[in-house]
Structure 1
Amino acid sequence: MWKLTRPDNKHDKLTRDNLLDLEDHHLVRIESVQEDQRQVWVLTKRGHGEAKQLLEPKGIRVSVLRKQEYDPDTGELLGTGYDDHAAAVTSTAAELHRAGIGHRLGFQTEIGHRLGNSYVQRADLVVRAPEAGVPVLLLEIDRRTEDAHDLVAKLRRYWEWGRLLPRDADKHTVDLARSRPDAIDHVDHEKRLWRRVYPPTGREGLVPVAFVFADTTEAKVANTVAVLEEAGRRYWAPRRHQTLHRGITAKDYGQAVPVVVTTLEQLQEHGADAAVWRRLGRKSEQTLTAALDNPDGEALFRDQEARADAEEEQRRAAELEAQRPVCKRCGQKFTDQRWEETTAHRTAWNAGDVFVCGPCHADDVARKEAAAEAARLQAAAPPEPEDDPEPDRGRGWFRRRA
């Protein structure tokens, strides 16, 4: 509570005094004291009612009332078995808030995600911190009280929830999703149920999930993460892009759940904004935003695809250029226009000698036109008068008759 409400204070006196004041007004009570002397405070029935009136009109969900129930035989307070877990959840929220990841009223606990079979998968903690580059993050806090395969089952259920459609989805989308098991992969995320609940993540894939391990050993954490990576690969691992291009190394994260892991001890020692998060499938630890980013994802794919398209275009152009005809008369390569004239059915009949280039064909056409013009002029010219073989004889006769 101290770190969550007053992260800048070096001591918890102010928080403790406020809690004591609320206790005097019967709004809160101490439920238990941990081994390290940390106290677990909960709302009383009266405090719970006032909190609902104060927070729920602002859209802030209040957790379920922790009733005071006692064992009839021993007189011990019942329902305190989750105190250590609740303390770890609150401490995780406090460390995130202290690092600037999430507003103190932007955290929610025990948020249900109902599956198609009516099973409800509850997230221990949900944080929305768009200003920190984390629009939404679901957190599972594990004190190694659960088997590693139980965590794999949780991951599977988050993956399944991310593939559900809302009840009012249009018939075309519903029919498409039912057409085959993987058809939902082709339904845009904007049409899925999870986008009705959470904002867009700003990255490829489904809603990211973080597993935070607390109060356990490094060996147990390593073993659990190894099981998550191997048995849960179908849910977190990216796929290969379906493309005919070669040399595409980018991955398709569109249907994967981004999963990051860390420990509460690392968060407390180094801070939640430090490089203490490891993304499943990667070797080293990164900051939270870097771990959630996909540098080998969609942006790289678009770049590699554009580059491959350009290279393919160059290859085709080179192959085409190698096939370009050469004029048998002058040795020049055909222009694109002349090449098309000599090969297209609609123009080849009028292209003349298809083995000569455009200029040579123009010369041929010019010679033919000149010859035709000369023939036309010759045909149109009047005939020349015939020569008189004896021009003086007629005149002599005329003179003698006169």
Structure 2
Amino acid sequence: MASTADEPEQPLDRTGGAPSITPSAPRREDSSVVAGQPRRARGHRRSDNPHVQRHPTHRKNSTEPRRRELLQALGIFQRATADQLWKLTRPDNRHDKLTRDTLLDLQDHQLVRIESVQENQRQIWVLTERGHREAKQLLEPKGIRVSALRKEKCHPVTWALLAGSYDDHAAAVTSTAAELHRAGIGHRLGFQTEIGHRLDNGFVQRADLRMRAPAAGMPVLLLEIDRRTEDAHDLVIKLRRYWQRGRLLAPDAGKYTVDLVRSRPDAIEDVGHEKRLWRRVYPPTGWEGLVPLAFVFADTTEAKVANTVAVLKEADRRYWAPRRYRSLYREAITAKDHSQAVPVVVTTLEQLKEHGANAPV
């Protein structure tokens, strides 16, 4: 029977004496042992075998572009798994092995660290203080805001490092961006989280995710990620706020226009979009209407999604539905005016993962 790799083959000696095969040359003394120093009983230094690699294998697979991409992605999204980072940086790769190798390389250089491990054994990666500084140098010159640094927290008594929390909502936001980028919609630097939109009463409505993808015909898209922790009517209020934001005048609007809108708020519909505030922030969308909005539901049932969509359809029709053109001959015009509406799309994170973000509607 042939011997296995774990059990080296022993020389056969039926007589019980010394082995029948002797070394062809006398054993040479180790030149690294100083005279009078006892020889090592076991164990070898890495330098004893020149064929053993002196550096981890993952460093060989790491390149500067991959390192830069991961630092940028973690600078934008703050926390992510290797699977999410793979889809956000190199979705053309067959798997996330190169991404994990690069993360280990960055960990060796104290640029990233593992903050926690999920129940499915996926590791949550964050930037270290040093990595956060490098991410700033990569993102801020491009006009991209860097997320806050996740600082290490220790137990007040034992000083043991505490694992940070990775809430499901933050995970869903990052996964949504990852699936969009995997489908070829949006550049990894075209995503931004928690973008504020100030209303005229001072309230700031923050979008969970903003995507810029002009190459895909999507100059800007605002996304609200909901794990059905919010009531459907709360989503109606959010849509109303985005609609109100799209109706604000630009700061450089003429006095006559400002006075007209103040005295008659509906007069804003006669003011072109180029004189509105949102056009100072976002480029023209190429369609009628205001900045489009997407609701992405995650970790929920089809029944709950259907109920929410039904509420959105009826309760906020004023904000997304077209209306008749205002004209003396409007009865003869069958076309609808979408210029004052917010284009809305609804999907689920599970559908994005299963069919892809570029699948037919």
**Normalization by structure 2: what TM-score?**
0.71
State the 1:246 CA deviation: 4.0
State the 1:209 CA deviation: 0.3
Q: Contact 1:142–1:213 (CA<8 Å) still a contact in 2?
A: yes
State the 1:93 CA deviation: 1.0
Please name the residue that 1:383 is paired with: none
2:229 to 136, 140, 145: 145
State the 1:114 CA deviation: 1.2
SS in 1 for 2:210: strand
Answer yes or no: is 1:211 the counterpart of 2:311. Answer: no
2:344 to 259, 284, 287: 259
Judging changes above 3 Å, is the alpha-carbon distance between structure 1 residues 72 and 218 closer, same or farther for their aligned structure 2 residues?
farther
Name the CA distance, whole Å, in 1 between partners of 2:228 and 2:107.
33
State the 1:12 CA deviation: 0.9
- Identity among equivalent positions (%) equals 80
Segment drifting more, 53-62 vs 266-275:
53-62
Please name the residue that 1:21 is paired with: 105
Higher relative CO (Cα under 8 Å, sequence separation at least 6) belongs to 2
Judging changes above 3 Å, is the alpha-carbon distance between structure 1 residues 191 and 7 closer, same or farther for their aligned structure 2 residues?
same
Q: Contact 1:40–1:83 (CA<8 Å) still a contact in 2?
A: no
State the 1:177 CA deviation: 1.5
Please name the residue that 1:168 is paired with: 252
State the 1:168 CA deviation: 3.3
SS in 1 for 2:222: strand
Answer yes or no: is 1:105 the counterpart of 2:189. Answer: yes
Q: Contact 1:177–1:187 (CA<8 Å) still a contact in 2?
A: no
Name the CA distance, whole Å, in 2 between partners of 1:48 and 1:136.
27
* Larger Rg computed on CA atoms: 1
Judging changes above 3 Å, is the alpha-carbon distance between structure 1 residues 118 and 8 closer, same or farther for their aligned structure 2 residues?
same
State the 1:69 CA deviation: 4.1
Q: Which structure 2 residues correspond to residues 352-391 of structure 1 after superposition, within 5 A?
A: none
State the 1:72 CA deviation: 5.4
What whole-Å deviation, never above 9, does each CA across 1:12-64 have from its counterpart, x for those lacking one? 11111111221222222222333333332222222112111121102222122
Name the CA distance, whole Å, in 2 between partners of 1:240 and 1:259.
19
Judging changes above 3 Å, is the alpha-carbon distance between structure 1 residues 212 and 167 closer, same or farther for their aligned structure 2 residues?
same
SS in 2 for 1:200: coil
Q: Contact 1:28–1:44 (CA<8 Å) still a contact in 2?
A: yes
Please name the residue that 2:359 is paired with: 274
Name the CA distance, whole Å, in 1 between partners of 2:155 and 2:289.
47
Name the CA distance, whole Å, in 1 between partners of 2:303 and 2:87.
28
Q: Contact 1:71–1:78 (CA<8 Å) still a contact in 2?
A: no
1:250 to 331, 335, 354: 335
State the 1:73 CA deviation: 8.7
Name the CA distance, whole Å, in 1 between partners of 2:116 and 2:146.
20
Q: Contact 1:144–1:216 (CA<8 Å) still a contact in 2?
A: yes
Please name the residue that 1:221 is paired with: 305
Name the CA distance, whole Å, in 2 between partners of 1:103 and 1:131.
9
Q: Which structure 2 residues correspond to residues 17-166 of structure 1 after superposition, within 5 A?
A: 17-69=101-153, 77=162, 80=165, 83-166=167-250
State the 1:162 CA deviation: 0.9
Q: Structure 2, unaligned stretches of length 5 or more?
A: 1-84
Q: Which has the higher helix share?
A: 1
The aligned amino acid for 2:171 is: A
What whole-Å deviation, never above 9, does each CA across 1:272-302 have from its counterpart, x for those lacking one? 1112xxxxxxxxxx2xxxxxxxxxxxxxxxx
Please name the residue that 2:20 is paired with: none
Q: Contact 1:128–1:136 (CA<8 Å) still a contact in 2?
A: yes
Name the CA distance, whole Å, in 2 between partners of 1:68 and 1:50.
18
SS in 2 for 1:61: coil
Taking only aligned residues, the RMSD between alpha carbons, in angstroms, comes to 2.1
Judging changes above 3 Å, is the alpha-carbon distance between structure 1 residues 240 and 36 closer, same or farther for their aligned structure 2 residues?
farther
Please name the residue that 1:297 is paired with: none
**Normalization by structure 1: what TM-score?**
0.64
SS in 2 for 1:36: coil
Judging changes above 3 Å, is the alpha-carbon distance between structure 1 residues 246 and 88 closer, same or farther for their aligned structure 2 residues?
same
The aligned amino acid for 1:180 is: R
The aligned amino acid for 1:30 is: I
Aligned residues: 275
Q: Structure 1, unaligned stretches of length 5 or more?
A: 276-285, 287-402
